[in-house]
Amino acid sequence: MNIDRAIELALDNILKEGLTDIFTTPFEVSLLKNAHFRVFLSTQIKARINSNSLSGLKVYPISHVLFPKKDAYDFRRAALIQPVDTITYLALVLMYADVIEKHRIEKRNNVVFSYRLKPKSGYLFDPKFNYTSFQAHVTERQKSRRVKVLVKCDISNFYDRLNLHRLESTLLSLQIDSKLIKLTNELLLFWANRDSYSLPIGGNASRILAEAALISVDDYLRSLKVQFCRFVDDYRLFAPDAKTAHAWLTILVERLYLEGLTVNPAKTIIEDVSKKSESSTVISEEARQVANELRQGRIIVGYSGTIPTKFRELSEREISELKEAATEALEEKITTNQILQPDDVRKFLRIVVASGDYSKLFLYQSLVEKFPQFTPLLVDLLIKKESLIPIELKESIKNYFSDVLSDGAKYPEYMLIAITRLLGTKGFSNSRALMELFRSLKRNSGAYIGRTVLDALSENTTRTDVLEIRQYYPRADLWEKRSIIRIVNSSLSEEEKRPWLKNVKVHSSEDYFAIESFDPKQAKK
């Protein structure tokens, strides 16, 4: 793919899907709607890639935020990459993404279901291939009389443990332009602090590279007639008996070892599926919901798994099944048990929504304190259903979370991000608590909490607050600076903000999104 097409596709995709599917889409993405800014940005990114050097890319180091994964007590190290760097990284990878796709097992073989390249309308991947179609295929294969044993396994810390030098060797074997591969490798090594491991988690560029890293593993398994399919690092082996299942699992383990990867033993299951039952051939309603929302091929992180972080609206079928369900037993568990079970929490929240009885959310404190990983899910639910929650309960929730911010305890950053987001939302807003948190933040408080606080304050500030926030600008990081600029620009009078913004334009000339936020690009006269 030529560089102009790759940059155009990267811009379209980020405008459509955001910088990452882990964090809430930042306001910077909306600036890409300005066609004149896009043209300017394309020129800058093209020059950076054509420099063929790491220094020419002008990228910043990345930060990370631990964020709940789909399983209990498991976390992903989500990457926080600057907007221009994200676009540059994606455009660079898209220049050879079509070559990677050509070397993968063909779609028609129904083996690899993850991130099949098929750009359309700003989306990058074929909507027919996703986690739900992977699940459906596994269900269908289990019905076969020849499949008696199913092996379920995944790669341990796949993105974090992916060896960058081995990835480079794999890409070179695909006959991709060596200059592009070298530039990609230099970029990844820079972001990994020269540690030789780790792809940034959360963006489509890394997804494409992760698929490339497993091409040789897939081909090896196929050459030995191993019957399998996978979605990213999630493998399923379809064996005729236990002996073969163990042999095939050993083959996979040994081949992954050559790539510096290992199978997660705690999540490896060898299952007898010889006795076909209705339950083993049914796709969950949740999976069907996922499929319905993946019409354009976007694979959304956070809605599924044991510990979802985003609340998915219930289907009519789910509402019908759950709206009359009793919650007394679940309420008793939530109230009295010291340790909660994820399934109980999820079921309780779904029943509350199906029944429309949001007064039952008075148990929110037990949910948060006994299973903190559910905080992002609860907050997402509260925000989406704000208008349906009793006023007294909303006030209680607001006061509780405001106290959490002010009590001085050390909370995980993902919890603070979720709470801050809630207290910046209509119905729960508390600018006083947010300003107190802003004043108390230290440089080691986290990679993104400062930006989150400022975004939450953007619609809830007085002139006095804005002047105080503006004073912090010289010490702020790039994410925070752009949010401060937006607050100042939208809150102060023209006379009061003009001199300050003029200085910003001088000192932040390389941060194109910062300048665009208050001085939009226009057609040249």
Comparing C-alpha atoms, which of 314, 369, 298, 317 is closest to residue 346?
314
Q: pLDDT band at 126, cuts 50/70/90?
A: very high
Distances from the Cα of 476 to the Cαs of 191, 252, 449, 487, in angstroms? 21, 47, 12, 14
The first and second tokens of residue 515, run together, are 């300048």
SS3 508: coil
Band the pLDDT of 451: cuts 50, 70, 90. Answer: very high
Q: With 0-12 CB in 10 A as exposed, 13-18 as middle and 19+ as buried, what is 370?
A: middle
Model confidence at 288: pLDDT above 80 = no
**Cα–Cα–Cα angle for 311, 317, 322, rounded to 5 degrees:** 70
Tokens standing for residue 197 = 């491991």
Give the Cα separation of 20 and 18 in Å (integer): 6
User: What DSSP state is assigned to residue 411?
Assistant: -
Beta bridge pairs of residue 68? 75
User: Within 13 A of 239's CA, how many CA atoms are on the CB side?
Assistant: 21
Give the model's pLDDT for residue 296: 41
Instruction: Please state, for a pLDDT cut of 90, what percent of the chain lies above it.
Output: 74
pLDDT of residue 409: 66
HSE value, Cβ hemisphere, 13 Å, CA-based, for 4: 1
> What number of residues does the chain have?
525
CA distance between the termini of the chain: 33
CB-based contacts of 23-28 (< 8 A; 24+ apart in sequence) = 23/65, 23/78, 23/80, 23/202, 23/448, 24/421, 26/83, 26/451, 26/455, 26/479, 27/455, 27/482, 27/483, 27/486, 27/517, 28/83, 28/482, 28/513, 28/517
Is 493 exposed, middle or buried (CB count within 10 Å of its CB: 0-12, 13-18, 19+)? exposed
**Range list of β-strands (E), 88-148:** 117-120, 123-125
Characterize the bridge pairing of strands 149-154 and 228-231: unpaired
* Phi and psi angles of residue 19, each rounded to the nearest 5 degrees, phi first: -75, -35
pLDDT tens, 191-213? 999 888 999 998 999 999 999 99
Query: Between β-strands 75-80 and 63-68, what pairing exists: parallel, antiparallel or unpaired?
Result: antiparallel
Average pLDDT of the segment spanning 435-463: 90
The pLDDT tens digits for 20-67 are: 888 889 999 999 999 999 999 999 999 999 999 999 999 999 999 988
The vertex-229 CA angle with 255 and 295, nearest 5°, equals 135
**CA nearest neighbour of 368 among 71, 70, 24, 68:** 68
| Whether the predicted pLDDT of 297 surpasses 70 | no
Average pLDDT over residues 256-281: 83
Give 257's contacts (C-beta < 8 A, 6+ positions apart): none
Beta-sheet strands, E only, within 127-202: 149-154
415: Cβ contacts below 8 Å, ≥ 6 apart: 372, 375, 376
Residue 116 has what pLDDT? 96
**Strand, coil or helix: 154:** strand
pLDDT score recorded for residue 291: 47
pLDDT-based confidence at residue 115 (cuts at 50, 70, 90): very high
